[in-house]
Structure 1
């Protein structure tokens, strides 16, 4: 029987954490367990969870998931769920490689041959928005996502709200009626301002508005859903089926679990299946690295309710590292048609450039999210 013999973690730029699991048969699986800005903390959690895996059969993925998530009296949360997520990805990678098939085959087989993707643009200035959208369209993308705003007052002056509408209008003008724009509120907008903004945004027909309120206020989503025709998307900061259930019951249109946060492939496939019962679509959150993207795509090829996939290739804030830096064959992520074709290689479908990972880990990173403040000195949502 094959056993897990070695588990290593790598802090790599720009802000990611990778995990490598090796078996006694020499099969290697990769995962991406990270909370952006808390990578070192997750690394410690991975090291502790590794005690439950070393010497065990790597093929017993579900049993490992149950033990890792429930084997301690205190459960859940971003750190533990993300540590489990990366280890879970690596175990699925191992199983696929051991059996010679992509992970989506293990999940029941593909339901589509390609997955529509969207790319990020900045969203700070109208002129910059138009140029950024045009550049993404030249790359072949048919959909983009943009920040609604930067720091936003709790009850924003009209000029700030008008600026949001103006920037989305700039994107729509370039996209015409064939492209789509998602607008990420990032939890920076309060409930009263969201209600003021939605009627102004409705004529611009965004593909969705993402995270209109912070996740801890998810009990308020029903009021927003009932107030607008714009599809509401949320979920990047939710980590389990139990946390998604009231959000699904609120009537949102799209859920966005993150494969590196919400328990990995094992849990996200269950979240996706639960969402089907509410006629809710799946668009996994993924502003991360190549392993998280590959794991997301494996779900995308197998989940009937998947609608579009985020990626961070060429994202505006990755100055010190890029998705394509860590894979040997970058063509697997080509999106020149606006979609990524079905991955066919075993496991997660990518070959990680181990030398590049090890070299980059020597530089490491200590990335932290910024702390924003309002003009009066009080804390502001980033």
Structure 2
């Protein structure tokens, strides 16, 4: 039996929470339990859940997932799901290292040799958008994602709507017809605003429109889907198959579970299978660190309905550390023609610089989501 002997957590810049699970045989697995703005809370949850794992067989991953998610009368939510996700990723990393094979091989073997990735671009003005996208294209990416807007009024002004269109038009101008732009509404739009702006964006053919309504209003997303020809995506703030089912039934085209929020590799694989039944593609949310990205890629190499992968290398709001800073070897996560080639090393396929992680944890971080307000002083969605 490969017994779990120790579980540690590391709060590292810019806003991540890493989990390290060590066995009595000396194998260490890494996971990422980041929950942006709530990672200290998740850290406490990881250590509470550790009580259920210490002394147990590390290779009984499905059984552990069942106990971790259902072993308390009160279940679900982003804190628990993120804590479970980090532990689950680490257990899969251990399993791969134990058997000497990448995780995707344990998930049934590869169905593709490389995964297309996209990068985030900032910019409030069309000229800034052009410059930021040109830099991503120069770096070899074939797809980008951008926020549609900043703060949005509940009923948008003509100027606000025109601003959205101008930014997306600028993106299309730089990208041409051979590259893609995805547009993130980020839950900042009311249903009325989202329905007004979608027809204006259709001529620019976005790859998808993301999170047109906040997740607690998922019951409204079907109305939006029926109002546009643009593929609709959502899911970064949905944490289980049960939460994805209504939006799949409503007709979304792209599901975006987060491997660090939605129960890890174990649950996201099940979400992917459920999505396949509805002819929906997977594009996991991942503006996070190297462990989360590696976990996403391992799922992607073994999942047929996998569209594209988000990643945050060079993202505009990372401060204090970059994604590859915590990797001993940066090669596995290098982009080739806008893709990541299939990872071949055992486990998650990357080697974490433990010394750098332990050093970063001494400084920690206290990242928080910004608080926005409308002109009248009321809360505005970020």
- Superposition TM-score tier, normalisation by shorter sequence: over 0.9
Structure 2: distance between partners of 1:324 and 1:127 = 29
Aligned residue for 2:209, secondary structure, equals strand
Deviation at 1:317, TM superposition (A): 0.2
Q: What residue in structure 1 maps to residue 343 of structure 2?
A: 343
Q: What residue in structure 2 maps to residue 210 of structure 1?
A: 210
Aligned residue for 1:51, secondary structure, equals helix
Structure 1: distance between partners of 2:186 and 2:123 = 12
Structure 2: distance between partners of 1:336 and 1:302 = 20
Tell me, yes or no, if the aligned pair for 1:124 and 1:147 is still in contact at 8 Å.
no
Q: How many residues align?
A: 382
Structure 1: distance between partners of 2:119 and 2:263 = 24
Q: What residue in structure 2 maps to residue 110 of structure 1?
A: 110
Q: What residue in structure 1 maps to residue 27 of structure 2?
A: 27
Deviation at 1:354, TM superposition (A): 0.3
Deviation at 1:331, TM superposition (A): 1.2
The equivalences for 1:359-370 within 5 A come to 359-370=359-370
Tell me, yes or no, if the aligned pair for 1:123 and 1:148 is still in contact at 8 Å.
no
The runs of at least 4 consecutive aligned structure 1 residues that moved more than 2 Å come to none
Any unmatched runs of 5+ in structure 2?
Answer: none
Deviation at 1:129, TM superposition (A): 0.2
Q: What residue in structure 2 maps to residue 185 of structure 1?
A: 185
Aligned residue for 2:202, secondary structure, equals helix
Deviation at 1:34, TM superposition (A): 1.7
Tell me, yes or no, if the aligned pair for 1:88 and 1:266 is still in contact at 8 Å.
yes
Aligned residue for 2:358, secondary structure, equals helix
Tell me, yes or no, if the aligned pair for 1:118 and 1:309 is still in contact at 8 Å.
yes
Tell me, yes or no, if the aligned pair for 1:182 and 1:208 is still in contact at 8 Å.
yes
Q: Does 1:239 align with 2:239?
A: yes
Tell me, yes or no, if the aligned pair for 1:117 and 1:338 is still in contact at 8 Å.
yes
Q: Does 1:284 align with 2:278?
A: no
Structure 2: distance between partners of 1:162 and 1:213 = 20
Structure 2: distance between partners of 1:254 and 1:298 = 19
Q: What residue in structure 1 maps to residue 358 of structure 2?
A: 358
Deviation at 1:125, TM superposition (A): 1.2
Deviations 1:167-202 (A, max 9, x none): 000000000000100000000011111111011000
Q: What residue in structure 2 maps to residue 79 of structure 1?
A: 79
Structure 2: distance between partners of 1:346 and 1:364 = 29
Q: What residue in structure 2 maps to residue 222 of structure 1?
A: 222
TM superposition score normalised by structure 2: 0.99
Q: What residue in structure 2 maps to residue 322 of structure 1?
A: 322
Deviations 1:53-94 (A, max 9, x none): 000000000000000000000000000000000000000000
Q: What residue in structure 1 maps to residue 158 of structure 2?
A: 158
Deviation at 1:111, TM superposition (A): 0.2
Deviation at 1:335, TM superposition (A): 1.1
Q: What residue in structure 2 maps to residue 267 of structure 1?
A: 267
Structure 1: distance between partners of 2:261 and 2:32 = 9
Structure 1: distance between partners of 2:333 and 2:25 = 29
Aligned residue for 2:135, secondary structure, equals helix
Deviation at 1:321, TM superposition (A): 1.0
Aligned residue for 1:167, secondary structure, equals helix
